[in-house]
């Protein structure tokens, strides 16, 4: 089914189910949803954990077509969500979906996450974005170079940046081995048989 771009549709109707939400995107992106875009139930719970106060700034590291940021900004309208994504075409789909939904507390940047200043954010979300670099990964496309050394480079880079954040910083990971979480973070809760992990930095 083609993407629905009807702005007169009531906002709540998009969030009735994952199937409804995914209709924001063209068929090629809908086909990637099961494997690559976070389910709404996970987003709702993660967003609630991450939005610790009004105006919390939350970054999705590897935001794809924007499903996490768009849905989280709907569930937590008083927090600010940003997505960074290395594939320009996916950012284009995210921006188009934001326009259809009319959400204002969400933004997207087309970049490698290593180009961002982490101090501009309070908390983070991470859906195992670097996994595509490993040999047996189910990949989005062939538009970029993959390598296991990139997996390690990105995981180490992210671990270092998270380590510099102040105590109280939160990160939710989904389907991750937590290679990127420094020992200064405490795993405070898990859900979905350990697929969903809630971490808080407990010391500087």
CA distance 86 to 140: 12
Among 28, 78, 99, 112, which residue sits at the site for ligand SAM (rule: CB under 6 A)? 112
Tell whether residue 97 is a contact of ligand SAM (CB under 6 A): no
Judged by CB under 6 A, the stretch of 7-15, 20-28, 30-38, 91-99 that binds ligand SAM is: 30-38
What is the C-alpha to C-alpha distance for residues 100 and 97, in angstroms, rounded to an integer?
5
3-state secondary structure of 154: helix
Rounded Cα–Cα distance for residues 70 and 101 (Å): 8
Q: Contact with ligand SAM (CB under 6 A): which of 72, 90, 91, 165?
A: 90
Among 177, 178, 170, which residue's Cα sits nearest to residue 198? 170
The CA distance from 196 to 158, in Å, is 18
Residues 56-85 that bind ligand SAM (CB under 6 A): 60, 62-64, 67-68, 84-85
**Residue 112: CB minimum distance to ligand SAM, A:** 4
| CB nearer to ligand SAM: pick between 108 and 185 | 108
Beta-carbon neighbour count of residue 99 at 10 Å? 11
Of 15 and 127, CB closest to ligand SAM: 127
Task: Tell whether residue 198 is a contact of ligand SAM (CB under 6 A).
Answer: no
H or E element in which residue 109 lies: strand 106-110
Distance CA 179, CA 138 (A): 19
SS3 147: coil
Kindly tell me which residue out of 14, 81, 121, 130 binds ligand SAM, with binding defined by CB under 6 A. 130
Indicate the DSSP class of residue 53: S
| 98 binds ligand SAM per the rule CB under 6 A | no
Query: Minimum CB separation from ligand SAM for residue 5, in Å?
Result: 20
Interface with ligand SAM includes 147 (CB under 6 A)? no
Interface residue list for ligand SAM (CB under 6 A): 36-38, 60, 62-64, 67-68, 84-87, 90, 112-113, 127, 129-130, 140, 154
């Amino acid at each position: 089914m083609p993407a629905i771009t009807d702005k007169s549709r009531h906002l709540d109707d998009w969030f009735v189910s994952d199937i409804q939400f995914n209709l924001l995107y063209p068929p090629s992106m809908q086909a990637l949803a099961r494997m690559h875009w976070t389910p709404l139930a996970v987003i709702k719970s993660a967003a609630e954990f991450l939005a610790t106060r009004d105006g919390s700034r939350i970054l999705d590291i590897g935001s794809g077509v924007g499903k996490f940021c768009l849905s989280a900004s709907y569930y937590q309208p008083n927090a600010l969500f940003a997505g960074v994504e290395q594939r320009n075409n996916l950012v284009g789909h995210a921006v188009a979906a934001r326009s259809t939904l009319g959400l204002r507390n969400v933004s997207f940047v087309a970049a490698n996450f290593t180009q961002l200043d982490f101090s501009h954010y309070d908390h983070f979300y991470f859906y195992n974005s670097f996994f595509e670099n490993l040999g047996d990964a189910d990949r989005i496309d062939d538009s970029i170079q993959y390598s296991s050394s990139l997996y390690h480079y990105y995981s180490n880079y992210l671990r270092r940046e998270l380590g510099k954040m102040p105590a109280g910083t939160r990160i939710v990971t989904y389907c991750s081995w937590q290679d990127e979480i420094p020992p200064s973070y405490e795993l405070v809760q898990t859900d979905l048989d350990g697929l969903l992990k809630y971490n808080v930095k407990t010391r500087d």
